[in-house]
Amino acid sequence: MLKRIVAIAFIFLCASAAWMVLGATVFSRTYDSDQVLEGQVTSLWGAPQMQSPPAAAAEHEVAKTTDTVENGKLKTVTQMVPVTETLPLESSRVDVSLGLEHRQKGLLWYSTYKVGFDGTYVFRNSTQQERVTFTLKFPAERAIYDDLVFTVNGAPVALTNENNSATGTAAVKPGEAATLRVAYRSQGLNDWRYNFGGGDAKTGVTVAQVRDFRMRMTTDFKEIDFPENTLSPSEKRETDGGWELEWNFKNLVSGFQIGMAMPEKLQPGPLAGRISFFAPVSLFFFFFLMFIITTMRGIELHPMNYFFLAASFFSFHLLLAYLVDHVSIHTAFAISSVVSIFLVISYLRLVVGTRFAAREAGLAQFIYLVMFSYAFFFKGFTGLAVTVGSVLTLFVVMQITGRVRWAEKFSAKPEGGGDKDSPSDFSGKVAPSVSA
């Protein structure tokens, strides 16, 4: 009996090592190609976007005198120096619509989105100049901007594009207000942010001031999430397909931004890797239960039988790891489960019998392989589900073995044999079970 336990433990350790290699391979395939694949997605779809409010400024020249010494004589030189005066932003009305579209590359899903931006800004010409230059910095360098609108007081403005910015000049009388409207349709990746103009760092450490600000954001997805260093909405209303969010500020001074993180889809690569690393736990429970049942019922399973059972378990994770490249994770999981359970039941049918294979072994494999692995689909509840299953298993085994005299079981010579529906040989006699 001791030799058999040692042999089973050795098989378990070898299978665990194989799962570690498989899990490491899956993670390597996933993340080694992540940078390349993300670059491909960015080039095809766009990069994360962060929009800043436009700026308005008036330029003029002023005379500047300097004293210099030339040939021992003091000389005064007057030069015209350009001066730029920034116009204050009095109010902002921004409407943003976000539409989520997941795209898969390799073993990862990327959260891509379409964005519709429409902003109306009011500037006050506090200078004595009548020509004002308006500048809009685009939210990302690697992106496209369709249906671009750039008007001042309702009139289109001729634009020049340089340094990832659009610049236009319009006539605004001193003291008057200028209403600038900018709108476009674009697309990006992972998250969208609005920076109040206090710098372009995502850390939001630069403080900016904004007056009379209102932003309305609509999403076509329910799972909204706000990145770090961003402001929560003042109001939010759930719609049939998503949310309507609103930010309202009268006179805000903050280093934070407004942002929306796109919901992530279940990642097939990391999920398959985590399930592979967890596989030894499933196999341990299965081996433990099979050993208890066969010992109590006098069914003899040779270590080689345990080896083939472990190989059948391994087939589940191997199939899952390489199917997720081609089909959805749920389809790959279902196919892998059916194949692995079929291997175990069809094998134990020959070794022990159909009833034991389908009832005890099949049910145990479904619980400890399929159900335990499927717990990884529920983020945040995996550990709890496995813990509950483990405690219930311990309780059931303790109850059914409480009256067992283990000294007698371990010292008794196995009688061999299976259940009453064990397979027969061609003479009609019950075939002997596999001896140790």
Q: Which of 43-52, 192-201, 219-228, 322-331 has the lowest mean pLDDT?
A: 192-201
User: Do residues 20 and 56 share a domain?
Assistant: no
User: Do residues 300 and 347 share a domain?
Assistant: yes
- 85-102 burial string, b = 16+ CB within 10 Å, else e? eebebebbbbebbbbbee
- Three-class HEC string of 313-361: HHHHHHHHHHHCCCCCHHHHHHHHHHHHHHHHHHHHHHHCCHHHHHHHH
Among residues 250, 253, 245, 129, the alpha carbon closest in space to that of 196 is found at: 253
Assess whether pLDDT exceeds 60 at residue 418. no
pLDDT in tens, 72-107: 677 776 676 677 788 999 999 999 999 998 888 777
Q: Residue 65 domain-assigned?
A: no
> Global pTM?
0.70
User: Do residues 203 and 299 share a domain?
Assistant: no
Provide the percentage of residues in the chain whose pLDDT is more than 90.
48
Q: Which domain holds residue 108?
A: 47-60+83-261
Assess whether pLDDT exceeds 80 at residue 43. no
CATH number at residue 213: 2.60.40.3680
| 290-300 mean pLDDT | 86
Q: 252 falls in which pLDDT band (50, 70, 90)?
A: confident
Q: Residue 419 domain-assigned?
A: no
Q: 49 falls in which pLDDT band (50, 70, 90)?
A: very high
Q: Residue 301 domain-assigned?
A: yes
Pairing type for strands 160-162 and 155-156 reads: unpaired
Among residues 382, 390, 376, 421, the alpha carbon closest in space to that of 289 is found at: 390
Assess whether pLDDT exceeds 80 at residue 431. no
Of 233, 261, 289, the domain-final residue = 261
* Cβ 146 vs Cβ 58: under 8 Å: no
Assess whether pLDDT exceeds 50 at residue 203. no
Q: Residue 69 domain-assigned?
A: no
User: Do residues 252 and 127 share a domain?
Assistant: yes
User: Do residues 333 and 360 share a domain?
Assistant: yes
User: Do residues 214 and 306 share a domain?
Assistant: no
* Cβ 285 vs Cβ 390: under 8 Å: yes
Q: Residue 251 domain-assigned?
A: yes
User: Do residues 89 and 160 share a domain?
Assistant: yes
User: Do residues 214 and 304 share a domain?
Assistant: no
- Pair of tokens at residue 144: 């496209």
User: Do residues 173 and 284 share a domain?
Assistant: no
Q: Residue 203 domain-assigned?
A: yes
What is the SS3 assignment for 61? strand
User: Do residues 312 and 333 share a domain?
Assistant: yes
* Site of tokens 């009388």: 173
Q: Compute the mean pLDDT over every residue in the chain, rounded to the nearest whole number.
A: 84
pLDDT in tens, 162-198: 888 999 999 999 989 999 999 999 999 999 999 987 5
User: Do residues 14 and 105 share a domain?
Assistant: no
- Three-class HEC string of 96-139: EEEEEEEEEECCEEEEEEEEEEEEEEEEECCCCCCEEEEEEECC
- Residue 427: the pLDDT is 36
Query: Which one of 239-243, 253-257, 405-409, 431-435 scores highest in mean pLDDT?
Result: 239-243
* Cβ 339 vs Cβ 319: under 8 Å: yes
- Residue 262: the pLDDT is 92
* Cβ 144 vs Cβ 189: under 8 Å: no
- Pair of tokens at residue 101: 């579209």
Q: Residue 75 domain-assigned?
A: no
What is the SS3 assignment for 143? coil
More reliable by pLDDT, 4 or 286: 286
Of 261, 284, 316, the domain-final residue = 261
Q: Residue 40 domain-assigned?
A: no
- Residue 86: the pLDDT is 87
- Residue 143: the pLDDT is 85
- The residue type at 77: V
Q: How many domains does the chain have?
A: 2
| 115-119 mean pLDDT | 95
User: Do residues 150 and 225 share a domain?
Assistant: yes
